[in-house]
């Protein structure tokens, strides 16, 4: 007998947490707020664990996947458009859910320690739960409209959390930037939804897949357009070129927020969406190649920018953008399960990196500039060892998690053909740069002499360390499940991975090459940042133009500001503000009022109180009536007869 899975609890528990902490949180004691805030993701994780029993062979009594629950009352039923509140659990969403709620719970736990003294504690947890509500809605959605609700909602939660310390202007500005850039992407997403509706008549994933399966020859054309529009949305949400500019600024938010939203979960929504709609993207090789190119280019450029940053969180932000580029690359070569695998391992080690960075920042009393750090290895041992695990994982060293997932992506890219080999090469170079900047971060933070004289670093409390340890363990062994098993498991949901040529050791050689490249990166970082720390400055001085270009992030923010932001602001202020608002609208209102006043001033003189003028107007009125009666008598004698009754010789 198949027991119901109660999937509705997964979004609902966080939503309840949001409401409780949001409305009552200010009046509840801190421990209660924490309990409410932590129970939500824990409960959602527990509900998600139930169907996950099948992963470890305990899946008796579970309904088969894909499993859908729909609310009986329809959401939209207008003409031919019919949309329901339906949530669907399949292999893809189950994996995503476990990542989101599991890592989410660990980060919630960490936040309890990190945000301990903050005045907006309850508000923080309510926002976090709100985010989790929308994210789970996005993951579980059975149709693209409900997914869009979650999509927008996580953008909102991101805005609220980035600008959490809203008294800081930079934080408020960063929140606005994130939301606005997301909105630009969402515009593309919306166009994609409209095109989907127009061409398929339905927004439910299973129905769209069914319609596509019924027409195997339908490729390219409008499907490419739809995919590109959806890709625009994905680039906005997942911070790819050209809409990545919000993610580095989003580091203004609290570090756990950066870990949760801007590393592990929200930014991966774009990848998830593409994997979810793989049946659509598979029909458009052109769109897929665009996805791959965008991913590879973003990975490379972000990695170069991460190399020159001095703020520890900014390095990690560019690293996130770069790793997301890898995931897009994987989707672009139709290796969707590889992308999801990398999403999962990336969630582990990137969250760990951020949380550990938060621990470092906490220890340094709020200092984020790596140039002022150093030698923290001995003072923060737990932080050091867990972060080391994460650094090795992101570098792609065997046997850490990142090795398996990144390797799968590069291998799938290599198999793609001539273009694929170019993409593979770009990915390889990016891996080199990734290793360099991650080890640079590692060395600058933990090795050498402490370069700041006011810091008194101390290890973080247990509530912050426990998630670090758990994530560290996952970063080590998270990839051991292997791409084959992940690929087979996800195949019903995301399509099968390309089969490798039988009996070939290509994959083995490629992975050895990748590890060697990563080790080379380590050595470079070791040379420049540990043994000869003065060399980087000399190198930068020798190529000042290139150095300035990359250090200033290719001036992309400035270009956007000049091309889009300032003209838009000027247009708003001068055209819309002065001409339309003050001139047209204000003028119209002034005109109405002015007309009334003017007419009143004229008519007022009529009431002079002068008896004779009143009499004159009376006489005029009487004359008018008489003339009217005369005309009436001329043209309509019958009516006139009413006025002039004619008694003919009637004797009284």
Partner 1 sequence: MHLILFLIFAAICLAGAINLLVQTHPINSALSLIVVMISLAVLYLMLGAEFLAAAQIIVYSGAVMVLFVFVVMLLNAGREERTLGSKAARRVGLPAVVAVMAVLATLILRAQGLGATTLDPELIPTAELSRVLFHELLLPFEVTSVLLLIAILGAVALARVEGSSVDDAERTAK
Partner 2 sequence: MYAQNVPLSWYLLLSAALFCLGIVGFLIKRNLITVFMSIELMLNAVNLSFVAFAHQWHMVKGQIFVFFVMMVAAAEAAVGLAIIIAVFRARSTLAVDRIDLMKL
Interface residue list for partner 1 (CB under 8 A): 608, 610, 612-613, 615-617, 619-620, 622-623, 626-627, 629-630, 633, 646, 648, 652
> 334: which DSSP letter?
T
Residue number, 456 or 612, with CB nearest to partner 2: 612
Q: Are the CB atoms for 254 and 192 separated by under 8 Å? A: no
627's contact among partner 1, partner 2, none, with CB below 5 to 8 A by partner kind, is partner 1
Residue number, 505 or 647, with CB nearest to partner 2: 647
351 exposed, middle or buried (CB, 10 Å; 0-12, 13-18, 19+)? buried
User: Residue 89: in which H helix or E strand, if any?
Assistant: strand 86-89
Q: Are the CB atoms for 345 and 478 separated by under 8 Å? A: yes
Q: Is 650 in the site for partner 2 (CB under 8 A)?
A: yes
Residue number, 453 or 612, with CB nearest to partner 1: 612
604's contact among partner 1, partner 2, none, with CB below 5 to 8 A by partner kind, is partner 2
Alpha carbon distances (Å) from 448 to 15, 377, 390, 434, 507: 46, 9, 20, 21, 38
Residue located via tokens 């932080």: 383
2's contact among partner 1, partner 2, none, with CB below 5 to 8 A by partner kind, is none
Residue number, 546 or 618, with CB nearest to partner 1: 618
- Could you tell me the smallest distance in angstroms from the CB atom of residue 621 to partner 1? 8
Residue located via tokens 């060395």: 443
Residue number, 543 or 616, with CB nearest to partner 2: 616
366: helix, coil or strand? Answer: coil
Residue number, 582 or 620, with CB nearest to partner 1: 620
| 557, two tokens | 């923010």
Only segment of 135-143, 169-177, 478-486, 607-615 that touches partner 2 (CB under 8 A):
607-615
378's contact among partner 1, partner 2, none, with CB below 5 to 8 A by partner kind, is none
Residue number, 569 or 620, with CB nearest to partner 2: 620
633's contact among partner 2, partner 1, none, with CB below 5 to 8 A by partner kind, is partner 1
545's contact among partner 1, partner 2, none, with CB below 5 to 8 A by partner kind, is none
- Identify the residue among 562, 570, 619, 630 touching partner 2 (CB under 8 A): 619
Q: Select from 519, 262, 219 the least CA-distant residue to 391.
A: 519
Count residues binding partner 2 (CB under 8 A): 16
630's contact among partner 2, partner 1, none, with CB below 5 to 8 A by partner kind, is partner 1
Residue number, 534 or 652, with CB nearest to partner 2: 652
Paired sense of beta strands 86-89 and 81-83, if any: unpaired
Could you tell me the maximum CA-CA distance found in the chain, to the nearest angstrom?
A: 139
Positive or negative, the CA dihedral 356, 362, 367, 373 is negative
CA atoms within 13 A on the CB side of 468: 28
- Could you tell me the smallest distance in angstroms from the CB atom of residue 644 to partner 1? 8
- Identify the residue among 1, 213, 611, 642 touching partner 2 (CB under 8 A): 611
Q: Is 615 in the site for partner 2 (CB under 8 A)?
A: yes
Q: Is 610 in the site for partner 2 (CB under 8 A)?
A: yes
Residue number, 213 or 642, with CB nearest to partner 1: 642
Q: Kindly provide the b/e burial profile for residues 52-70, where b requires at least 16 CB atoms within 10 angstroms of the residue's own CB.
A: bebbeeeeeebeebbbbbe
Distance between first and last Cα of the chain: 109
- Identify the residue among 64, 612, 635, 638 touching partner 2 (CB under 8 A): 612
Q: Is 601 in the site for partner 2 (CB under 8 A)?
A: no
344 exposed, middle or buried (CB, 10 Å; 0-12, 13-18, 19+)? buried
Residue 203: partners with Cβ closer than 8 Å, 6 or more residues away = 81, 83, 143, 144, 145, 193, 196, 197
Residue number, 378 or 607, with CB nearest to partner 1: 607
What dihedral do alpha carbons 354, 355, 356, 362 form, nearest 10°?
110
| 507, two tokens | 């994959």
651's contact among partner 2, partner 1, none, with CB below 5 to 8 A by partner kind, is partner 2
620's contact among partner 2, partner 1, none, with CB below 5 to 8 A by partner kind, is partner 1
Only segment of 305-313, 418-426, 435-443, 643-651 that touches partner 2 (CB under 8 A):
643-651
Residue number, 73 or 651, with CB nearest to partner 1: 651
Q: What are residue 78's phi and psi, to 5 degrees?
A: -130, 105
- Identify the residue among 29, 366, 609, 634 touching partner 2 (CB under 8 A): 609
Neighbours of 534 (CB within 10 A): 8
Q: Is 616 in the site for partner 2 (CB under 8 A)?
A: yes
607's contact among partner 2, partner 1, none, with CB below 5 to 8 A by partner kind, is partner 2
Paired sense of beta strands 86-89 and 67-70, if any: antiparallel
Give the interface with partner 2 as residue ranges (CB under 8 A): 604, 607-612, 614-616, 619, 647, 649-652
């Amino acid at each position: 007998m198949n027991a119901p899975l109660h999937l509705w609890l997964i979004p609902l528990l966080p939503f309840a947490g949001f409401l409780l902490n949001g409305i009552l949180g200010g009046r509840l004691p801190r421990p209660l707020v924490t309990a409410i805030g932590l129970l939500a993701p824990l409960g959602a994780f527990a509900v998600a664990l139930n169907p996950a029993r099948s992963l470890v062979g305990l899946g008796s009594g579970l309904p088969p996947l894909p499993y859908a629950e729909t609310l009986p009352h329809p959401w939209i039923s207008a003409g031919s458009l019919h949309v329901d509140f339906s949530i669907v659990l399949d292999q893809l969403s189950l994996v995503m859910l476990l990542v989101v709620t599991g890592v989410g719970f660990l980060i919630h736990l960490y936040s309890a320690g990190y945000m301990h003294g903050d005045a907006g504690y309850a508000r923080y947890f309510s926002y976090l739960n709100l985010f989790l509500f929308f994210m789970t809605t996005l993951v579980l959605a059975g149709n693209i409209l409900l997914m869009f609700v979650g999509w927008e909602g996580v953008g909102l939660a991101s805005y609220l959390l980035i600008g959490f310390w809203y008294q800081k202007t930079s934080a408020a500005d960063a929140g606005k930037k994130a939301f606005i850039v997301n909105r630009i992407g969402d515009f593309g997403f919306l166009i994609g939804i409209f095109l989907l509706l127009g061409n398929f008549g339905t927004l439910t994933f299973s129905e769209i897949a069914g319609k596509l399966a019924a027409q195997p020859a339908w490729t390219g054309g409008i499907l490419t357009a739809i995919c590109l529009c959806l890709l625009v949305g994905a680039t906005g949400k997942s911070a790819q070129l050209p809409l990545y500019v919000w993610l580095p600024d989003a580091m203004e938010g609290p570090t756990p927020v950066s870990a949760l939203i801007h590393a592990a979960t929200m930014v991966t929504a774009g990848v998830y969406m593409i994997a979810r709609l793989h049946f659509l993207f598979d029909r458009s090789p052109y769109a897929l190649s665009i996805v791959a190119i965008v991913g590879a280019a973003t990975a490379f450029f972000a990695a170069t920018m991460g190399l020159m940053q001095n703020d520890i969180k900014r390095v990690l932000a560019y690293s996130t953008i770069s790793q997301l580029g890898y995931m897009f690359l994987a989707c672009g070569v139709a290796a969707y399960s590889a992308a999801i695998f990398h999403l999962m391992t990336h969630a582990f080690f990137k969250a760990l990196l951020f949380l550990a960075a938060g621990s470092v920042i906490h220890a340094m009393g709020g200092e984020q500039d790596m140039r002022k750090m150093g030698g923290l290895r001995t003072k923060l041992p737990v932080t050091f060892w867990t972060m080391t695990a994460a650094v090795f994982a992101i570098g792609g060293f065997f046997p850490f998690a990142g090795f398996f997932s990144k390797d799968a992506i590069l291998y799938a890219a290599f198999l793609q053909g001539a273009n694929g080999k170019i993409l593979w090469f770009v990915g390889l170079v990016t891996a080199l740069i990734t290793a360099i900047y991650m080890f640079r971060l590692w060395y600058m933070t933990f090795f050498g002499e402490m370069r700041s004289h006011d810091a008194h670093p101390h290890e973080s409390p247990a509530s912050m360390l426990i998630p670090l340890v758990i994530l560290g363990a996952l970063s080590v062994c998270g990839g051991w499940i292997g791409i084959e098993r992940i690929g087979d498991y996800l195949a019903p949901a995301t399509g099968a991975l390309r089969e490798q040529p039988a009996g070939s050791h290509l994959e083995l050689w490629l992975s050895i090459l990748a590890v060697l490249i990563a080790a080379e990166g380590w050595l470079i970082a070791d040379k420049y940042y540990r043994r000869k720390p003065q060399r980087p400055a000399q190198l930068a001085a020798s190529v000042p133009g290139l150095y300035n270009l990359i250090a200033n992030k290719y001036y992309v923010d400035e270009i956007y500001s000049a091309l889009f932001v300032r003209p838009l602001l000027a247009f708003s202020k001068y055209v819309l503000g002065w001409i339309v608002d003050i001139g047209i609208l204000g003028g119209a209102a002034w005109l109405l009022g002015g007309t009334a006043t003017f007419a009143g001033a004229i008519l007022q003189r009529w009431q002079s109180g002068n008896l004779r003028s009143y009499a004159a107007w009376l006489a005029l009125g009487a004359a008018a009536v008489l003339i009217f009666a005369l005309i009436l008598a001329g043209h309509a004698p019958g009516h006139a007869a009413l006025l002039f009754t004619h008694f003919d010789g009637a004797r009284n």
